[in-house]
Amino acid sequence: MTAIAVSNADFDTVVLQSDTPVLLDFWAPWCGPCVALAPALEQMATDRHDTLRVVKVNVDENQDLAAKFAVRGLVFHPQRRYRTRALRHGWSGQI
């Protein structure tokens, strides 16, 4: 299974009424880090299709959704987190 692209029309049905947890990705085609992250999200959608729904919202095409969730920018930066002596990589975005 791949990530699901949603629009204003089907957002409520696909995201808000989902029976499984949803990872929601606000992205834009001109955002280099967003495009770079896409393969990892696609892989996650495939690997965890039974326990997680990966949903993508193109902010250029769905400005109402971006405004509804107060998306102000698509800034992305890697962040490393240390827990119990094991290095874990995490990703943190600014919205």
Catalytic residues: 31, 34
Nearest-angstrom CA–CA distance, 59 and 66: 6
With contact defined as beta carbons under 8 Å apart, do 64 and 41 qualify? no
Contacts of 83 (CB under 8 A, 6+ apart): none
Residue ranges of E strands in the chain: 4-6, 22-27, 53-58, 75-83, 86-94
